[in-house]
């Protein structure tokens, strides 16, 4: 019988019917990896010959990696 998601679990079939092969035509849904939420707190940006930024308490320069993300460039933005 299909489960609540409408999929037939071939591993459960193999466990219940000893000696029989799992159904190759069973509908299987791919499990989606849960999204990982990343919070970046940009505390400051320094421009000039050697630009850098203060992110999550760490000084990062273009090309550095923080929280599995690579900083491509840093530039100030006017919010007013």
Single pTM value for the model: 0.50
Instruction: Kindly state the percentage of the chain with pLDDT values over 70.
Output: 70
pLDDT at 13 > cutoff 60: no
Mean pLDDT value of segment 21-29: 72
Greater model confidence, 3 or 13: 3
Structural domain spans, the chain: 1-32, 35-80
Distance CA 75, CA 23 (A): 57
Greater model confidence, 62 or 77: 62
CB-based contacts of 3, cutoff 8 Å, min separation 6: 9
Instruction: Write the pLDDT tens digit of every residue in 65-80.
Output: 988 889 888 776 665 4
């Amino acid at each position: 019988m299909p489960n609540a998601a409408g999929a037939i679990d071939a591993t459960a079939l193999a466990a219940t019917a000893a000696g029989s092969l799992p159904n190759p035509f069973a509908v299987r849904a791919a499990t989606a990896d849960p999204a990982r939420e990343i919070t970046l707190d940009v505390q400051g940006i320094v421009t000039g010959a050697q630009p850098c930024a203060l992110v999550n308490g760490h000084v990062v320069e273009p090309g550095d990696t923080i929280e599995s993300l690579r900083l491509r460039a840093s530039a100030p933005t006017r919010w007013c």
